[in-house]
Amino acid sequence: MSKQIKVGPPNVIDHQLAPFLPEFNLFNSTRELENSALYSKLENDIERVLGSVVQENLAPKTSSSDSRIRASAWNIERGVELEGLLEVFSQHHLLKNSDIFLLTELDHGMARTKNLFIAHEIAKALSLNYAFAPCYIALDKGSGLESTVDGENTKSFHGNALFSRHPISKAHSIALPNGRDLMRGKEKRLGTQRAVAAIINHPSGAFWAVSLHLDAHSTQKHRHLQMTMVLDHLENLNPTLPVLIGGDWNTSTHNSSRALYSILGYCRRVLMGVQNILKNHYPHPNRWFERKLFRELELRNYQYRDLNEMGACTLHYDIQDLAANNRMADWIPNWCFWFINWALGKNGGYCSMKLDWFAGKNLFADPDSKPQVLSEVHDKNKMLSDHDPIILDFRLNP
């Protein structure tokens, strides 16, 4: 664990950085920012808050004779639809019985989510223990339509979290390198992606749980690097326990580190045949484009094939989706939308990808229930997130 990491109640990440964030936003590269006198003055405080983890224990003491453990992983897209998310978490016939939730993309003090601490709100409403790691300090309100919301950010945090009905111990975060310079482009941020790891003390035994979000705007090679760093970290943890990793791994098959590379990659896939890509690659990134990441897991004795609904996609793009198109327009030229629309025209304007996964070591999929992608959780008139949740029932002993 990093010596920077501090674990404590929400005030462990309190800061006085807000007056300086507009000035940070004037820099156009991370190098330029880090060479500035302003950054030098505030560097220790920035590293302190981004290296800390909020942990609260809000779950009542429980006892269970069931050796089956249910895990749910979901990219909840900032937590914008918090009310709907809480309803699904508490009432959905599968999600409500989850022992742990591995959630990615949670805001704390962002105008786009009413300046709420999303992780705390979820834990309070569902009576869960949780650990939240801030990944980024946002220098603006967000991307696409988010940039036009009313109000101003307060804490300006965005991060990842894990939740448990059972006691959590040894919570910490794992810093991962950025796939691109976060000070270039419209949405500027300080910090890096961070995985959240902790021991879950389930009645049937203890295990490490990791909520992991790999970079979207990165290369396949970079996502493999980030996964390798997480696995290296886990190998050195004490005590040695079974491990469950879950979250949004952004296995899009694309090199999205720059707009040009993404466009060229999209052209390549069109030449390979749109239907071929939609059927054989987007739902199965492990077959070719992201194979190094999945081979790395298997080389380290992690399994993933039995822990996921293989071939079931978790993100669905519609060419009519205004919010998604506005986010994409922040970093790719407008003419690209004509090309995307043309390529997807024969598929009704839709495409789906498998981005969300579980992987485990020294644990076993429950033979009586299959892992699932839950595409039916969204409101008929509104998506709760741009991702579908995934669930897994597993045991620590076969």
Residue 1 pLDDT more than 60?
Answer: no
203/206 Cα distance (integer angstroms): 8
Q: Which residue has the tokens 């327009």?
A: 329
256-295 pLDDT per residue, tens? 999 889 989 999 999 999 999 999 999 999 999 999 999 9
Q: Are residues 99 and 220 located together in one domain of the fold? A: yes
Q: Are residues 267 and 195 located together in one domain of the fold? A: no
Closest CA to 38 of 51, 52, 49, 26: 26
Task: Tell me the residue type at 50.
Answer: L
Q: Are residues 193 and 267 located together in one domain of the fold? A: no
Residue 333 pLDDT more than 90?
Answer: no
Residue 30 pLDDT more than 50?
Answer: yes
Q: Are residues 176 and 272 located together in one domain of the fold? A: no
Q: Are residues 29 and 85 located together in one domain of the fold? A: yes
Assessment of whether the complete model's pTM goes beyond 0.85: yes
By the 8 A CB rule, do 352 and 42 touch? no
Enter the tokens of residue 24.
């940070």
Tell me how many domains the chain contains. 2
DSSP 109-123: S-GGGTT-BHHHHHH
Can you give the CATH number for the domain in which 82 is found? 3.60.10.10
24/26 Cα distance (integer angstroms): 5
Q: Are residues 234 and 154 located together in one domain of the fold? A: yes
Please return the burial class of 163, using the count of CB atoms within 10 Å of its CB with bins 0-12, 13-18 and 19+: buried
- Residue 36: pLDDT band with limits 50, 70, 90: very high
Q: Are residues 175 and 83 located together in one domain of the fold? A: yes
Task: Tell me the residue type at 175.
Answer: A
Note whether residue 2 is domain-resident.
no
Note whether residue 116 is domain-resident.
yes
- Residue 319: pLDDT band with limits 50, 70, 90: confident
Q: Are residues 25 and 155 located together in one domain of the fold? A: yes
356-389 pLDDT per residue, tens? 999 999 999 999 999 999 999 998 778 999 999 9
Q: Which helix (H) or strand (E) holds 6?
A: none
For residues 212-221, give the mean pLDDT.
97
Average pLDDT, the chain: 94
Q: Are residues 96 and 232 located together in one domain of the fold? A: yes
Q: Are residues 218 and 152 located together in one domain of the fold? A: yes
Q: Is the dihedral of CA 255, 315, 175, 113 positive or negative?
A: positive
Domain range enclosing 225? 7-251+290-314+355-395
Q: Are residues 62 and 209 located together in one domain of the fold? A: yes
3/10 Cα distance (integer angstroms): 19
Q: Are residues 189 and 66 located together in one domain of the fold? A: yes
Note whether residue 1 is domain-resident.
no
37-88 pLDDT per residue, tens? 999 999 999 999 999 999 999 999 877 778 999 999 999 999 999 999 999 9
By the 8 A CB rule, do 138 and 151 touch? no
Note whether residue 128 is domain-resident.
yes
